Chains A and B, each alone.
Chain A
Amino acid sequence: MKESKFDRKIDDIGLKEGIAKLTPEKIQQTFQKFMDSEAGAKLRVYHETCVRCGMCSEACHFFVSHDGDPSYSPVGKVTQTMNVLINKKGRVDAEFVYKCAQIAYTECNLCRRCMHYCPLGIDTGYIMSMVRRFCHLLGVTPQYIQDTAHSHSATFNQMWVKDDEWPDALLWQEEEARDEFPNLRIPLDVVGADIMYSVIGPEPKFRTQLIYQAAAILHEAGVNWTMPSLPGWDNSDMAMYTGDFEMMGRLKRAHFECAQNLKVKKVVMGECGHAFRSVYDMGNRWCGWDNYPVEVVHSIEFFAYLLRTGMIKMKTKFPGPVTIHDPCNIIRGRGLMDELRFVAHEIAEEVIEMTPNREYNYCCCAGGGVINCGPPFKNVRVKGNKAKAIQLRGVKEKGVSTVISPCHNCHGGLEDIIHGYELGMDLKFLGDIIYEHMEKTKAVE
């Protein structure tokens, strides 16, 4: 391949300031150290054995949405980044690092859809996350996502929520909910509770009603639950996506220590995708754990359990047809597609599927930290996911105007796509519908 032109550079102050501090020696030494100390057989073997067949291309929503532009294909992105780094042994200039960072952080969602297409089983998502790791080691990261990583370092949550603001947000939601459920509590720090409920930083910050809804559902179901009042409550993990694996490990430890101090049987987490990835796949490995030390149950599984056991009964079902958007980290990452469909059919009158779906689903284009790279890259996400817009328009024509997706990131991404392509559809969490349509035996009339 000839050195390809990169004509889509986007101005980002984090990347710009980051490369301003680089020298060719620093880049080369950092790469050498990275290869010697961190990169193992996977990266080397993938680099050597990829036969450049290009079969992974059409797996990627970026490639599909850009009408087959090869620079957006999974292997195309590897060819422009890690491939050059390895071939040149890190002898690249700062501008090249900028390009690597832009591609790895904003043009790949690490959704791993391409894994269904590669005959050799080459994990492109892993390669791109290693490009990110290298950029992180050089201090070249997009400003917005780096800000969330800084927040993680300083506060152990993603959104600079201060230590007093967190319990305050919970008490506020408890107070609100008690208008509807007079005996409702959001029990804080109850040692020995069955379940610790954990959320991501953005919930108290700007989706606080989700905490209300969750409290209402848990209260109605009569679950013995608690929430931690101290840092460690946030299960999210943007450090995982910036490549700051050290911080990722610290976050996971803090979170599980919270659960262990409370001696709970399980952690139930809100409707989030990436946080789930960080507990079953990435964070646990960094800490050297085979799996999570305290069982983590995703909301999908938990709602399925509540509905199956009759702890929650639906009074009505959501009227009209809905469609399901499968979040990568929960479905392709953890195989919860059947549970999701069970819940969706229990709570909605009719479900009309988009195809491809389940573990073959197209990503929302916000995941993998891409939405966290902020406004400079919003158009990258929206234009880069025309494929999803076409899918959504397809079901819209069949009369669907509501999309269920149990993931915060997917909501953020799909919202922009729905607006960007003027689709006029609503987005719902499972919790939104369950809260709205369940039997509320403990509520005041």
Chain B
Amino acid sequence: MHDIYNFVVGPLAWFGWGVFILGAIYKLVYAYNKFITKDATSAHYMSWKFGLRSIGAWLIPFFTTGWKNNPLVTAVTFVFHICLILVPIFLSAHAILWQQFFGIEFFWTLPDNVADIMTLLVIAACVFFAVRRLAYPRVKFITEAKDWWVLLLVVSPFITGYLAYHQIFNYQFMIVLHVITGLAWLALIPFSRLSHMLFALFTRAYIGSEFGGVRKVKDW
């Protein structure tokens, strides 16, 4: 089991990170090239001022029309994304890995009990999203298989991580599963719906530029 563990946090982890980083670069460069060549008449209107204004507006919960009209989704979405980003980075157990493999020293990590609650919040949010997909006709109608896969992909490392931390079932097995699902999550960011992690700021900035610069109205 130790060999497997060493393999997944060693070569497999490098592979996962490699796919993520190279994939992300590839996707961003490809999109950028397409944007400035095929969408040149859109790229022309990109504006720092209106782009940042739009990103800023949509980062404030309940500020925009979309957020205001969907208060529950807004609350869950914000909590979900904050936890989703903070826990994997600032978890104390992960800080050791950051130090060990990348030489990055953290001055602060999440207290374990807080991280524990945040993990549960992520799982709860995923359950909420799943129920919404099943029960809400407007979401059910547009849900594809890949929407389910992506939800499973996102929630798996959190479930396995929680089980491993609390040593429920077999710890060794669970931690290996946790690393594998975590890496799959990372590696598939550029190649799934999760690519909105890479593109959201750009799509937001673009439409902000169009609305602010060309159409002279708010895009929220």
> Which residues from chain A sit less than 8 Å from chain B, CB to CB?
1, 4, 38-42, 44-46, 48-59, 63, 68, 70-71, 73, 75-76, 79, 115-123, 280-281, 285-286, 288, 290, 331-335, 337, 359-360
> Which residues from chain B sit less than 8 Å from chain A, CB to CB?
31-35, 37-39, 41-42, 44, 54, 58, 64-67, 69-70, 73, 77, 136-144, 147, 193, 195-196, 199-200, 202-208, 210-211, 214-220
Distance A438 CA – B196 CA, assembled complex (angstroms): 55
Q: A1-B142, A41-B38, A70-B138 are in contact. Are A49 and B214 (CB under 8 A)?
A: no
Whether A116 contacts B219 by the Cβ 8 Å rule is yes
Contact of B208 among A57, A59, A121, A332 (CB under 8 A): A121
Chain B residues within an 8 Å CB radius of A120: 196, 199-200, 203-204
Q: A51-B193, A290-B44 are in contact. Are A335 and B216 (CB under 8 A)?
A: yes
Given contacts A73-B138, A333-B217, 4 further A-B contacts (CB under 8 A): A40-B39, A49-B203, A59-B65, A121-B205
Whether A49 contacts B196 by the Cβ 8 Å rule is yes
Closest 4 CB pairs of A and B: A40-B38, A335-B216, A70-B141, A121-B207
Q: Is the interface of B mostly helix, strand, loop or mixed?
A: helix
Chain A residues within an 8 Å CB radius of B32: 41
Whether B193 contacts A48 by the Cβ 8 Å rule is yes
Distance A208 CA – B153 CA, assembled complex (angstroms): 63
Whether B136 contacts A359 by the Cβ 8 Å rule is no
Chain B residues within an 8 Å CB radius of A46: 203
Distance A45 CA – B44 CA, assembled complex (angstroms): 18
Chain B residues within an 8 Å CB radius of A337: 217
Whether B215 contacts A41 by the Cβ 8 Å rule is no
Q: A41-B34, A45-B31, A49-B193 are in contact. Are A4 and B141 (CB under 8 A)?
A: yes
Distance A333 CA – B217 CA, assembled complex (angstroms): 8
Chain B residues within an 8 Å CB radius of A63: 138
Chain A residues within an 8 Å CB radius of B215: 281, 332-335
- 6 A-B residue pairings within 8 Å (CB atoms): A45-B31, A51-B196, A70-B141, A73-B142, A285-B42, A334-B216
Distance A136 CA – B210 CA, assembled complex (angstroms): 25
Chain B residues within an 8 Å CB radius of A285: 41-42
Chain A residues within an 8 Å CB radius of B41: 285-286, 288
Q: A42-B35, A48-B195, A49-B195 are in contact. Are A117 and B65 (CB under 8 A)?
A: yes
How distant is A44 from chain B, measured CB to nearest CB, in Å? 7
Q: A41-B38, A44-B34 are in contact. Are A1 and B141 (CB under 8 A)?
A: yes
Distance A44 CA – B203 CA, assembled complex (angstroms): 11
Residue of A nearest to B51 (CB): A121
Distance A285 CA – B73 CA, assembled complex (angstroms): 37
How distant is B129 from chain A, measured CB to nearest CB, in Å? 9
Distance A385 CA – B219 CA, assembled complex (angstroms): 23
Distance A58 CA – B70 CA, assembled complex (angstroms): 10
Chain B residues within an 8 Å CB radius of A121: 54, 58, 200, 203-208, 219
Contact of A55 among B73, B200, B204 (CB under 8 A): B73
Whether B217 contacts A359 by the Cβ 8 Å rule is yes
Contact of B142 among A76, A280, A290 (CB under 8 A): A76
Residue of A nearest to B207 (CB): A121
